[in-house]
Amino acid sequence: SAVISQKPSRDICQRGTSLTIQCQVDSQVTMMFWYRQQPGQSLTLIATANQGSEATYESGFVIDKFPISRPNLTFSTLTVSNMSPEDSSIYLCSVEGLAGGGEQFFGPGTRLTVL
Amino acid sequence: DAKTTQPNSMESNEEEPVHLPCNHSTISGTDYIHWYRQLPSQGPEYVIHGLTSNVNNRMASLAIAEDRKSSTLILHRATLRDAAVYYCILNTGFQKLVFGTGTRLLVSP
């Protein structure tokens, strides 16, 4: 399994500002995923980020609101832009496993509160 | 995405076995059956996955019905630390995971 860290672990932000969340993996992986978990809800995929290509966004998520960078095989960032209170959620990154079958390993998450 | 159906919640006593059911009647031949769990205030944790045969690992066992339309995650001896939300997910491999609402497992001392 991969060891994944995220920064920051939590933050409180003002409406209209932006926050960049970092995800670091201890091994090289091709696919990284960003999820959102709204309060009391299950996880929803925001986008899939492959190194060297544009991120692929799920329905309801757009690049202008959630720009993603993937500069190398161990790192990715997700920016939450022009935040509103509705963006208050836990944001999680995950990576594919190496055993085959599509298992994923998740970071600890970033808890974002927007005032 | 193929859909799974799980009970909203289940209860167990510590040190007893727990059988968590999942129905996936529309599963396709290439879908793997995955189980994840999410402990309070943590990211989801991979538990186990399988395709056709039953699978065992250090965390749990996965029993897959012969027609693959249902499966059961088996925790052999529940501990308080096993209290979590358990998600059953179908995945065709290296694809996005579509999380449902899962089963909240409560474990009593």
- Give ∠ CA B43-B99-A93 in degrees, rounded to 5: 40
CA B13 to chain centre: 18
Does B22 have pLDDT greater than 90?
yes
- Could you give the 3-state DSSP secondary structure of residue B81? helix
Q: Does A23 touch chain B (CB under 8 A)?
A: no
pLDDT, residue B93, reads 62
pLDDT, residue A21, reads 98
| Strand ranges in B32-102 using DSSP code E only, listed in sequence order | 32-38, 45-50, 55-56, 61-64, 70-75, 84-91
Please indicate whether, in this complex, the C-beta atoms of B94 and A102 are within 8 angstroms of each other: yes
pLDDT, residue A100, reads 63
CA A30 to chain centre: 15
Q: What are the C-alpha distances in Å from B99 to residues A41, B2, B16, B103?
A: 10, 11, 27, 11
Kindly report, residue by residue over A49-93, the tens digit of the pLDDT: 988 888 999 999 999 999 999 999 999 999 999 999 999 999 999
Does B30 have pLDDT greater than 70?
yes
Report, as an integer, the average pLDDT of B66-85.
Answer: 96
Instruction: Using an 8 Å CB-CB cutoff, list chain A residues near B45.
Output: 106
pLDDT, residue A101, reads 65
Check residues A103 and A88 and name the one with the higher pLDDT. A88
Q: Does B53 touch chain A (CB under 8 A)?
A: no
Q: Does B106 touch chain A (CB under 8 A)?
A: no
Does B94 have pLDDT greater than 80?
no
Report, as an integer, the average pLDDT of B47-70.
Answer: 94
Name every residue whose Cβ is closer than 8 Å to that of residue B83 and which is 6 or more positions away in sequence.
B39, B40, B105, B106, B107
Does B23 have pLDDT greater than 90?
yes
Mean pLDDT of chain B: 92
pLDDT, residue B34, reads 93
Rounded to a whole number of angstroms, the distance from the CA of A32 to the nearest CA of chain B is: 10
DSSP state of B72: E
Percentage with pLDDT > 70 across chain A:
97
